[in-house]
Amino acid sequence: MMTNKKEILETIDRIYKQRRYNAELSKERKINELYAKSKEFADICDKIKLAGLRLSKASLMQNKEQIAKYSKIFDTLISKRTKLLIEMGYPSDYLEPDYVCKTCQDTGFVVLDDRVDVCKCRTQLFIELLYEQSKLKEILKDHNFSKLNLNYYSKEVDVKEGLSPYKNMVKIIEKVKEFLENFDKPNQKNLLFYGPTGLGKTFLAHCIAKEVIDKGKTVIFLDSISFFEVLKDKYSKMLRLYEDVSDEEYKSLEEVDLLIIDDLGNEGKNAEFCHGVFQSLLDKRFLSGKKTVITTNYSLDGLVTVYSQFIMGRLQEYFLFLHLFGEDVRVIKAKLQLEKRTSEMS
């Protein structure tokens, strides 16, 4: 998915280690504060420590009678301490560590009935760090709606399409803005831009990314090759019946607010074996209300030759297809620059 994945994971581990340290440090400060304020509190805490040590020793010796005895003493002392805290005017959970995430207690993982899973807070952190270390931040400075120039699109009606590239682009932008306005609505369709190269499909995807990020939401932008590399890795783990609890990459594709897949179809035939994972991801994202934007140079007929009828069915159900046509904008820009230079020289 990215060359700096190892660096991102190392950063995440450091962040969680620091969070746990801060939480425990905060707890120790509170205990020391109450030690100095109340001798009764100090005595109970000393007894709790002693009971805890004896319980640990009994557990190591596998002495069931001693384990039961000191477990009862330990629980009773904890109850007394909680009661005393309330009498002193503190909340009952005052000595609980101040974890940033209460769900995983700042470990990044949660224990479920049958497995250990990545906590949502860790996935969120992964997405944020991925964005910070990607080139997307710089790209969006120039690729946004303020830089969109419709003058590159011809106003001459295309006989085959029945309208001009200019008019078509105006309509597409209306659909894009409608998509952004209804971004949080669960049944809002995703967008799929298709058509030849050089017509602004990726530019529009960047514009959408900028607007979504400005709303405080998360975005992952991947070319199709990188995207399918993540799916291949997921498929390999599923095939081995192996679930990697640190599988942030695939988890981030499920959880990110906006997933953008650029140049779909460019991943080639060697990715066909994980099309089922692709279909599953599309299902999960749509059903959970997460939004996806896709760009492709393929025509609709071309997509049918690349993907199964099941995937095409999902695309047709979950996406609004927007067709871009006209002359390559990059070619037009090159012509205009050449004309300008020629004019300046004459």
Please report, rounded to a whole number, the percentage of residues in the chain having pLDDT higher than 70.
Answer: 93
Q: How far is CA 131 from CA 122, 202, 220, in A?
A: 14, 17, 7
Mean pLDDT estimate for the chain: 88
Please report, rounded to a whole number, the percentage of residues in the chain having pLDDT higher than 90.
Answer: 57
Give the pairing of strands 319-323 and 190-194.
parallel
- Does residue 244 register a pLDDT over 60? no
- Does residue 247 register a pLDDT over 90? no
Residue in the block written with tokens 């306005």:
181
Dmax (CA) for the chain in angstroms is 102
pTM for this entry? 0.77
Q: What does the DSSP 8-state code read for residue 147?
A: G
Q: Which amino acid is at 196?
A: P
Residue 1: pLDDT band with limits 50, 70, 90? very low
pLDDT digits (tens, 9 = 90+) for 11-51: 999 999 999 999 999 988 998 899 889 999 999 999 999 99
pLDDT at residue number 236: 79
Of 34, 22, 18, 17, nearest to 95 by C-alpha is: 34
Strand partners, 221: 260
Tokens of 272: 């066909």
Rg for the chain (alpha carbons), in Å? 29
Name the range with the highest mean pLDDT among 154-168, 224-238, 243-257: 154-168
Of 264, 248, 281, nearest to 4 by C-alpha is: 248
pLDDT digits (tens, 9 = 90+) for 292-327: 999 999 999 999 888 988 899 999 999 999 999 998
- Does residue 123 register a pLDDT over 50? yes
Residue 227: pLDDT band with limits 50, 70, 90? very high
Return the beta strands (E) in the chain as ranges.
Answer: 109-111, 116-118, 190-194, 219-223, 258-262, 291-296, 319-323
Tell me the C-alpha distance between 98 and 318, whole Å: 42
Tell me the C-alpha distance between 196 and 202, whole Å: 11
User: Do the Cβ atoms of 258 and 219 come closer than 8 Å?
Assistant: yes
Q: How far is CA 43 from CA 29, 32, 36, 49, in A?
A: 17, 13, 11, 10
pLDDT digits (tens, 9 = 90+) for 50-95: 999 999 999 998 899 999 999 999 999 999 999 999 999 999 989 8
- Residue 56's CB is within 10 A of a number of other CB atoms, namely 12
Ramachandran area for residue 219 (φ above 0: left; ψ -120 to 50: alpha; else beta): beta
